[in-house]
Amino acid sequence: MALRPEVLVAILAMALASYLCRAGGFFLMRFVPITPRVEAALRALPIALMGAILGPVASNGGPAEWAGLAIAVLGMKLLRNEFLAVLAALAVVAAVRAL
C-alpha cells in the first residue's frame, strides 16, 4: 500500500500544528505566575484529559472498554503516570476482547 502525497502532507501539517500548540503553551506559561490555584489546575489536567479521551469510547463501547476505563482511572490514581495507565488500559481491553 502506497502513501499518497496529500495524506503525507496532511499528516505533516497536523504534526506541525500540534507541535506549535505545545511549544506556544510552554512559551506562554513563562508569563503565568504559578499560584497554588494554577498548580492545582495543572496537576488535575492529566486525569481530566484521560477522562475526556476515554469517556466517549467507554460510553459507546462494551465491557472491554468499560474495564479499560476503570483500569486507566485506577492506574492514574495509583501510579501517577499517564503512560503506564494507558498501557495497562490497552492491555486490559485487548485481554477482555480476546476472551
Query: For each of the chain's 99 residues, which pLDDT tens digit applies?
Result: 688 889 999 999 999 999 999 999 889 988 989 899 988 988 888 777 777 877 787 788 888 888 988 898 898 889 888 889 889 999 999 999 998
Same domain, 39 and 23: no
d(CA 17, CA 29) in angstroms, rounded, equals 18
20 plus 40 within the same structural domain: no
> Do 7 and 25 belong to one domain?
yes
- The pLDDT, as a whole number, for residue 57 is 79
Q: Are residues 38 and 25 in the same domain?
A: no
How many structural domains comprise the chain? Answer: 2
Domain of residue 13 covers 1-32
Note the pLDDT of residue 37.
Answer: 92
Same domain, 48 and 27: no
Check whether residue 49 and residue 90 sit in a common domain. Answer: yes
How high is the pLDDT of residue 44?
82
Q: How far is CA 77 from each of CA 24, 62, 70, 74, rounded to the nearest angstrom?
A: 29, 23, 11, 5
